[in-house]
Amino acid sequence: MSKRSNWSIPYVIFLVFFVVLPLILVMVYAFQDAQGKFTLGNLAKFFTDRDALSTFAVSIEVALENTGLCILLGYPAAWILANKQYNKSAVTIVLFIMPMWINALMRTLATAQLFTMLGVTLGKGTLLFGMVYDYLPFMIYPIYNVLSKMDKSYAEAAVDLGATPWRAFWKVTVPLSMPGVTSGILMVFMPTVSTFAISEFLTNNKIKLFGTIIQENINSSMWNYGAALAFVMLIIIGITTLFDKDKDEEVEGGLI
Amino acid sequence: MKRILISLAAVALLAGCSEDRSQILKVYNWSDYIDETAIEEFEQWYAEQTGEKVKVIYQTFDINETMLSKIEKGHEDYDVVCPSDYIIERMLQNDLLLPLNRDFGSTPNYIDDNLSPYIRACFDKMEGNGKNANDYAVGYMWGTTGILYNAKYVTDEEASTWDVIRNPKFADRIFIKDSARDVYSQIIMKVKERELADSTVTMDQLMNYTSDADITAVEDYMKQVKPLVAGWEADFGKDQMVQELGYVNLTWSGDGVWAIDEAAELGVELRYALPKEGFTVWFDGWVIPKYAQNTKAANYWINFMSRPDIVIRNVEETGYVSVSGAEEVRDAFTDEEYDPIDLSYFFTPADTAVCANPVLYPAKEDIERSTQEHDWGENTAKLIEMWSRVKGDNANAFTYIFIGLVVLALAAFAFYARASKNRRKKSRRRK
Amino acid sequence: MKKFFAKLYIWVLLVILYAPLVFIAVFSFTESKVLGSWEGFSPNLYRNLLTGQMQGNASLLAAVKNTLLIAVIAAAVSTLLGTVAAIGIHNMKGRAKKTVSFLNNIPMINPDIITGVSLFLLFVFLHFSQGYTTVILAHITFCTPYVVLSVLPKLQQMNPNIYEAALDLGATPAQALRKVLIPQLKPGMVSGFILAFTMSLDDFAVTFFTRGTIGLDTLSTYIYTDARKGGLTPELRPLMTLIFLVILILLIIINVRQDRLQKQNENR
């Protein structure tokens, strides 16, 4: 029986080679100068580079706003969809997921074109709209998943025991659905910070996000600085996953 | 026995690896920058001329720096590449180029037969480690940087100065080419207008790094432009102009021609102006990098690219203007619909009245206001940083306050959640 | 009343979500170069797309072909690798199991750009010339974890004794694998394959960093380059509309079948 655990060996080797080694390389490049010598210069450059810092701040801002809007818009939608009283068919949730199968760049470009046709100037507002548009399904689905599997009797019991429906919702339903919200946040927040291309198309290149400067540096062969920026992002990912540690077991809740 | 097998395998492997490089030519060019049928034709032509077989491996890049790093850092064995003027200078400076061999035996030398004297003179001005660019590079396409504008909304007068991009009348209708060097080179001439007029400085001097103060002056100018800008375009500006979403576009002549033609079909009148303060011309040229493996075919490739009929096909396919001063090329692009202009500087001294498209071939009087860009060496980083300060730097007080508030709120929430959990635990324990 | 507003809210969201898709679909029936200008009804774009006679750019079809080819290979290899790995992981215990599961999670948590950049650096570091092979390897990297995650639950649901029983009854391990294990895991493998396939189809960032300079384009990178140049290839409109229709039909078939299965189960 225990011999079959060896079956994972090829995959472990694969993971080491294509996941662990590349991440180590990101760190190595981040702490090297162009000649391959050790340096802290790349990170120092980031913390003194006003453009990189402000791009970083803007990305965090947009990502927070996007995540917030996705929760605000997505939670009620997920709640309605999970509620048998309002929605009887599973088809509606499929309708929310289906646009994700169409190439994201193409959808984004069409959105941008729609805005220009309506005479809206491309900028911060259109960027946020486009981001919410792209990421809303990623928020709705995990919340829906948790809500629809949730035992409704808890909330009903709370109401029976004299709580107002509103209070029962806040004290029972919302806390129980938190795993769905967290995995939604995971799927919206970091990807927003790191998008490139989408932000450019939605603002005519006026606002760029953190992903774009990583891409620009890598593409103009400033690998070391690009790696340092990627390293900064890895640290933030590390922090966000630490936050999520308590609910580790539930992360798989999401996705299709 | 085992050892024999292993060594046999090794030999087989080695044979597999070392393909015969003298039968392969690796070309690395800008994307969409050639009539691709010419590639196969080169293979045939090369066989006819030399009796040798060659297979072209054609790869493309979108950014000069990508190409440069492949060669400089990756030591990739491209045989012939097509960088822009300032990159040719940098490659000369860093000893990355091999000199050209113009001895083609019985094959005609199309390079020297046709190269425009103007382009030759421009390449003479390119420097790098004391080497003359004409010995290492042959021009391919060239053009100018100017203002493309919509004649319905913008007057010729308004478009005759770089200040048109700072005109509040056209707020949210201005597109600027996302190219640090090109924007700097034009705007420094605007900023230094007075000094240029009284000859305390020349245009050529301004094209090199002059001082941090000059960079700041351009940065300040561009920061006034920024609130009016509808977008920093890599390549989509021409499209926005055709759709009349933009009225003013700081762009290249090649894009200008394309946009003017496209717009005309839709009944939109676009024009292209070369501002009075001065403007720059740019060139791309074929060079042979240091790590090239098949220099013979590379030289022949450059020669073939200079053959007038190939030139004409490439120009027709790409919309850019060739450096070729050949008669056939001149005749192919003259048309009675244009007014005659003085192109004696480009073709032959007799060509003082050629009916050519002035956007493609600027008249002599315009060219006198032009100069060419140069590599800044170590100071390039300053230019790039200035540009990212102009384009980026979008965070304002709200950004930081907002982030601060959210972080505070999250911390408070986490604290509250933990506290209430502990309380619950305690009360449970008490029971 | 409440119900009305709930329904209204859902429908408003859906209308907004679908507006750009409808926009593309509507303008796939006119021949204008620019998305958004109507130049009279014409099915010509569809004809161009299906006959391969584009208004200039034939590389779109090559990009579609590349996208499909890469997705099929990446999904097939990931399914194989992931299933074998899942069986292994399922039989692991303690710290080893935790470590492997953690490693398996990394590509899913990492944003695309990190996966892309890190693999780019790997290939640069190894002087691996980038092209089809590197793109496919990269796709396998981010697809396999999803296969593992879709197969693992099936292993947990399975009665471990069945496999042992088959062996006891005289089946060779290969027979037991083919006749017992695989059929049990098949639903997980299929959904893993589909997941991997769609992830690969939709990928942009990872492909962008690992495709090298040989001019290899998938649909995503094609659209990206095209859009940066301004003016999307008009034939993209009918292409997207057709893709959308295919997905719609597939989903309808799947849902109808599921409904029927459910009803059968209920009737039993």
User: Which CATH number goes with the domain that contains A153?
Assistant: 1.10.3720.10
Q: A57 contacts in B (CB within 8 Å)?
A: 395, 399-400, 403
- Where are any strands of DSSP class E within B23-71? 24-30, 55-61
Report percent pLDDT > 70 for chain B. Answer: 94
CA distance C47 to chain B (A): 23
- Lowest mean pLDDT segment, chosen from B161-165, B287-291, C241-245: C241-245
C257 found inside a domain: no
Residue A249 has pLDDT above 80, yes or no: no
Report chain C's terminal Cα–Cα distance, integer Å.
38
Each residue of C30-61: pLDDT tens digit?
887 777 778 888 888 888 888 877 655 668 88
Using an 8 Å Cβ cutoff, are B207 and B373 in contact? yes
Distance (Å, whole) CA A214 – CA C33: 33
A22 found inside a domain: no
Distance (Å, whole) CA B167 – CA C159: 76
Q: Which domain holds residue C200?
A: 61-99+107-233
Q: Which of residues 114-173 of C touch A (CB under 8 A)?
A: 114, 117-122, 124-125, 137-138, 140-141, 144, 146, 148-149, 164
* B237: contact with C, CB 8 A cutoff: yes
Each residue of B180-209: pLDDT tens digit?
999 999 999 999 999 999 989 999 999 988
Per-residue pLDDT, averaged over A22-40, amounts to 90
Across chain A, mean pLDDT equals 85
Residue A178 has pLDDT above 70, yes or no: yes
- Lowest mean pLDDT segment, chosen from B401-415, C163-177, C179-193: C163-177
C56 found inside a domain: no
Report ipTM for this prediction: 0.86
* B402: contact with A, CB 8 A cutoff: yes
Q: B33 contacts in C (CB within 8 Å)?
A: none
Each residue of B326-371: pLDDT tens digit?
999 999 999 888 999 999 999 999 999 999 999 999 999 999 999 9
- Lowest mean pLDDT segment, chosen from A161-170, B130-139, B353-362, C116-125: A161-170
Interface contact flag, B62 C225, Cβ < 8 Å: yes
Confidence of residue A171 (pLDDT cuts 50, 70, 90): confident
Residue-level pLDDT at B12: 42
Residue-level pLDDT at A120: 86
Interface contact flag, A11 C81, Cβ < 8 Å: yes
Each residue of A198-227: pLDDT tens digit?
888 899 888 888 998 898 888 877 888 999
Report percent pLDDT > 90 for chain A. Answer: 32
Residue bearing the bigger pLDDT, C215 or C109 = C109
Report percent pLDDT > 90 for chain B. Answer: 63
Residue B43 has pLDDT above 60, yes or no: yes
Confidence of residue B14 (pLDDT cuts 50, 70, 90): very low
Distance (Å, whole) CA C193 – CA C72: 9
Most A-contacting residue of B383, B388, B393 (CB-CB within 10 A), to test interface: B388
Tell me, yes or no, if the pTM score tops 0.80.
Answer: yes
Each residue of C102-152: pLDDT tens digit?
899 899 888 899 999 999 999 988 888 888 999 999 999 999 999 999 999
What residues have CB less than 8 Å from B152, skipping those under 6 apart?
Answer: B268, B269
- Pick the residue from chain C with its C-alpha nearest to B237: C230
C203 found inside a domain: yes
Residue-level pLDDT at B18: 45
Partners for C (CB, 8 Å, 3+ pairs)? A, B
The domain tally of chain A equals 1
Count of beta carbons in the 10 Å neighbourhood of residue C262 = 11
Q: Name the residue among C34, C124, C230 with its Cβ closest to that of B235.
A: C230
Residue B28 has pLDDT above 90, yes or no: yes
Distance (Å, whole) CA B311 – CA B333: 11
Q: B402 contacts in A (CB within 8 Å)?
A: 61, 64-65
CA distance C231 to chain B (A): 6
Distance (Å, whole) CA A213 – CA A230: 10
Distance (Å, whole) CA A29 – CA A38: 9
Interface contact flag, A57 B393, Cβ < 8 Å: no
* A94: contact with C, CB 8 A cutoff: yes
* C24: contact with A, CB 8 A cutoff: yes
* C101: contact with A, CB 8 A cutoff: no
Distance (Å, whole) CA B292 – CA B103: 18
Q: B70 contacts in C (CB within 8 Å)?
A: 213
Residue-level pLDDT at C229: 73
Residue C189 has pLDDT above 50, yes or no: yes
Confidence of residue C268 (pLDDT cuts 50, 70, 90): low
CA A85 to chain CA mean position, Å: 31
Across chain C, mean pLDDT equals 87
The domain tally of chain C equals 1
Residue-level pLDDT at B17: 44
Across chain B, mean pLDDT equals 88
Q: Name the residue among C23, C88, C232 with its Cβ closest to that of A4.
A: C88
Task: State the amino acid at position B376 in one-letter form.
Answer: W
Q: B230 contacts in A (CB within 8 Å)?
A: 121-122, 204
Q: C208 contacts in A (CB within 8 Å)?
A: 215
Find which of A101-105, B163-167, C44-48, C200-204 is predicted with most confidence, using mean pLDDT: B163-167
C6 found inside a domain: no
Residue A161 has pLDDT above 50, yes or no: yes
Q: B238 contacts in C (CB within 8 Å)?
A: 230
Joined tokens for residue A172: 């029972």
Residue B42 has pLDDT above 80, yes or no: yes
Q: Name the residue among A57, A61, A205 with its Cβ closest to that of B231.
A: A205
* C55: contact with B, CB 8 A cutoff: no
Residue-level pLDDT at C81: 95
C143 found inside a domain: yes
Confidence of residue B429 (pLDDT cuts 50, 70, 90): low
Using an 8 Å Cβ cutoff, are A210 and B233 in contact? no
- Lowest mean pLDDT segment, chosen from A124-138, B30-44, B271-285, B391-405: B391-405
* C264: contact with B, CB 8 A cutoff: no
Using an 8 Å Cβ cutoff, are A240 and A129 in contact? no
Instruction: Look at residue C36 and give its three-state secondary structure.
Output: coil
If phi > 0 it is left, if psi is from -120 to 50 it is alpha, else beta; for residue B350 that is alpha
A55 found inside a domain: yes
Q: B401 contacts in A (CB within 8 Å)?
A: none
Per-residue pLDDT, averaged over C237-242, amounts to 91
Interface contact flag, C248 A98, Cβ < 8 Å: yes
Interface contact flag, C214 B238, Cβ < 8 Å: no
Q: Which residue has the tokens 């073939």?
A: B304
Find which of A82-86, A92-96, B108-112 is predicted with most confidence, using mean pLDDT: B108-112
Residue B425 has pLDDT above 80, yes or no: no
* C40: contact with B, CB 8 A cutoff: no
* C112: contact with A, CB 8 A cutoff: yes
- Could you give the C-alpha distances from A252 to A142, A182, A183, B123, C240, in angstroms and in order? 9, 11, 8, 62, 31
- Supply the CATH number for residue C202's domain: 1.10.3720.10
Confidence of residue C23 (pLDDT cuts 50, 70, 90): very high
